[in-house]
Amino acid sequence: MTSSVPRLVIAAPSSGSGKTTVATGLMAAFAARGLAVSPHKVGPDYIDPGYHALASGRVGRNLDAYLCGPELVAPLFLHGARGCDIAVVEGVMGMFDGAAGEGELASTAHVAKLLRAPVVLVVDASSQSRSVAALVHGFASWDPEVRVGGVILNKVASDRHEALLREALESAGVPVFGVLRRVAQVDTPSRHLGLVPVAERRGEAVSAVAAMAAQVRAGCDLDGLVALARGAGALSCAAWDAAEVLASSPSPPLPVPSPGGSAPWTPAPQTPEGLDCANAGGAETPRGAGNCATSPHRPAPSHEPPDRPVIAVAGGPAFTFSYAEHAELLTAAGAEVVPFDPLRDEQLPGGAAGLVIGGGFPEVYAAELSANEPLRKAVSALAETGAPVAAECAGLLYLCRELDGQPMCGVLDASARMEDRLTLGYRDAVAVSDSSLAVAGTRMRGHEFHRTVVEPGAGDAAAWGVRVPRRRLEGFVQRGVHASYLHTHWASQPGVARRFVERCRTS
């Protein structure tokens, strides 16, 4: 099967060049023309997709070749782009910047190649004129497999400045698809982890997206960009499908084989030294189905499970970080996914058999979360029964005894506080304890992004063993609770969702 969804990748030489403004503005401008726009973001970031969703009217989705593996990038893209007229993919950092020490892996350039998509380079031209041609030539020629189809010049000072830039790029043979001037209204507020999420500033976010769209419409050749997008290469793989990958994925995930043979490895779960053994096996637990070259088409299960356990998923302004595929996998595994807002709802959804609390900014809302004592008690009571609870980063903080001195749920005997140091980066992890998500020995890749610290950093039964940037145990497993700083993408291990739902049925 082949697919040729028109698509563009929006890249830049570095962060701060204007990728988000251009990508979000293009999504909104195309949508205003009546096109169905599929929005995507390279990398693990949760915040930009919120602006993309506001601009396009569709769920923003991530394409991360580190978290999910290169083989899933195109299938996940096609899943999000079903029924769309055009797709816009916002890059991450500089075009060739990817996972540290991993070459091109997870970079914008890598994803553009996996998608066979033309790249539009957004260049901050505020402090240069003729030199822009050398810069663009370098990016266009660095990797011949990456097709730089043109540029959009950002932060151009004047008509004279624009003329100098266009003249330089014309001699370099690179088309200019747009010129944007600095507009203060397009600026979006930031804080300690980047842009303020859409859910926290809905009115201002709507205005900001409208301003981005207006600037892009006025300064860019939309017809030329659509024509460029239509020149993307065909993709010869099937779209990712939650039901199909659950049907073809192992259940439960298998332990990592020992280095010396095929017998299952019995982990030494609670010692950092055991991580060497955990990571030495060489064979990872199989990733989710979807390899463009080899993935077979699997039929969906022929019948639904007799019961659909209710899984409560935290949302609202305090918990905005979630990958759309998680809820899709839980639903396909037989659950009824019901969102709730810990800032407003005083009880969990009726009949909740499990709880998922993703990332976000509980530190910003600590007082409000603490004031909702009925919900804190309900979460603690559910965890006390042994029901499955999956908590990542913000969810971990919420389950602690306290956050910055404010009482939280008290599920974990740990305290959390803000700190100045930023913890950021991809992680290669191995489960060191059996839990509601995975059996010990399961390997997953994740991402950390926070300015908080939890003390202690790991419970008597830790969630993960992490090697980089230092060997350590991390997170908590107790009763049905799995709580950790690590953000993971379940599309890479669909069995995680099925295991969680089965535990909800039987707990």
Specify burial of residue 159 (Cβ count, 10 A radius: 0-12, 13-18, 19+): exposed
Contact 456, 385 (CB under 8 A): no
Radius of gyration of the chain (CA): 23
Number of helices followed by number of strands (H, E) in the chain: 15, 22
The span from the CA of 342 to the CA of 318, in Å, is: 8
**Across-strand partners of 42?**
63
Structure-block tokens of residue 227: 């024509």
**CA proximity to 155, closest of 21, 14, 28:** 21
Contact 70, 104 (CB under 8 A): no
Specify burial of residue 273 (Cβ count, 10 A radius: 0-12, 13-18, 19+): exposed
CA 123 to chain centre: 25
The span from the CA of 452 to the CA of 363, in Å, is: 8
**Residue with the two structure tokens 């800032």:** 343
User: For strand 464-466 and strand 415-431, is the pairing parallel, antiparallel, or unpaired?
Assistant: antiparallel
Active site residues per annotation: 393
AA letter at 321? F
**CA proximity to 417, closest of 396, 390, 447, 446:** 396
